[in-house]
Structure 1
Amino acid sequence: MKKLITVIIVAVIASASVFANDKSIGETAQQKLRKEIIELLERPHFKIEKSSIEAEIEFTLNAKNEIVILTVNSDKDIVENYVKSKLNYKKVNS
């Protein structure tokens, strides 16, 4: 009985460390991708009336590591067009 409890404890500790490691790797990749997207979107060619503008962007990455824009939702059409022109089919390193 003692051996069974020891085996279970070892299995739980081993599986917990595996899951903990996966989480940090995913966050690092997300942070790198976020940084690249921010760099691609810098310096718009139009004047911004507000101090900040929000846009919800849905995208995916294809096999060539290119960003494929699925949808862009914003109050301003010019923002939607800008995001699409700057990001769609741009290659990323992440």
Structure 2
Amino acid sequence: MRKLSLVMVAAMLLFTGSIFANEVKSNDPSKSLTEQITEILKDNELSEYVVNQSAQVRFTLNNEGEIVVMSVDTKNDKLESFVKARLNYKKVELNEIKEGKLYTVAIRIEE
């Protein structure tokens, strides 16, 4: 009985040690990317025709960490041109850049 309890304690110590030994990545690249896009689009002087409009932006990142806009899915042409002009070839900072990976971000322009 005593050997069984020693084995259990040893197993729990090994299990606990292995949990703390693993490095936890707390940096979520997609959230960081979304925050950076928000900052790029933040300060704007848009007409009332663009305010309260939304769009789906599909883009990829090139090898230099720049956004390359593939498409902007919206019914508003002014919003589409605004988003393309603001985001295309803007540099973003990420830990791991996956060149060619396609990203989709929903945006909404508010007052």
Q: TM-score, normalised by structure 1?
A: 0.67
User: What percent of counterpart residues are identical?
Assistant: 32
Aligned residue identity for 1:67: I
Please report how far the alpha carbon of residue 45 of structure 1 lies from its aligned counterpart in structure 2 after TM superposition. 2.9
Runs of 4+ more than 2 Å apart: 43-46, 48-51
| RCO comparison, higher one (Cα < 8 Å, 6+) | 2
Aligned pair in 2 of structure 1 residues 43, 93: CA closer, same or farther (>3 Å)?
A: same
Aligned residue identity for 1:85: A
Aligned pair in 2 of structure 1 residues 78, 50: CA closer, same or farther (>3 Å)?
A: closer
Aligned pair in 2 of structure 1 residues 50, 67: CA closer, same or farther (>3 Å)?
A: closer
Aligned pair in 2 of structure 1 residues 72, 39: CA closer, same or farther (>3 Å)?
A: same
Q: Distance in 1 between matches of 2:61 and 2:49?
A: 32
Q: Distance in 2 between matches of 1:85 and 1:52?
A: 19
Please report how far the alpha carbon of residue 49 of structure 1 lies from its aligned counterpart in structure 2 after TM superposition. 3.7
Q: Could you say which residue in structure 1 is the equivalent of 2:32?
A: 32
Q: Could you say which residue in structure 2 is the equivalent of 1:52?
A: 52
Specify which structure has the higher proportion of helix: 1
Q: Distance in 1 between matches of 2:66 and 2:75?
A: 26
Q: Could you say which residue in structure 2 is the equivalent of 1:83?
A: 83
Aligned residues: CA RMSD: 3.1
Q: Could you say which residue in structure 2 is the equivalent of 1:3?
A: none
Secondary structure in 2 matching 1:64: coil
Q: Name stretches of at least 5 consecutive residues in structure 2 with no aligned partner.
A: 1-10, 95-111
Larger Rg computed on CA atoms: 2
Q: Name stretches of at least 5 consecutive residues in structure 1 with no aligned partner.
A: 1-5
Please report how far the alpha carbon of residue 84 of structure 1 lies from its aligned counterpart in structure 2 after TM superposition. 0.3
Please report how far the alpha carbon of residue 46 of structure 1 lies from its aligned counterpart in structure 2 after TM superposition. 2.3
After superposition, give the CA deviation of every residue in 1:55-94 in whole Å (9 maximum; x if it has no partner): 0100011110000001001111000000000000111112
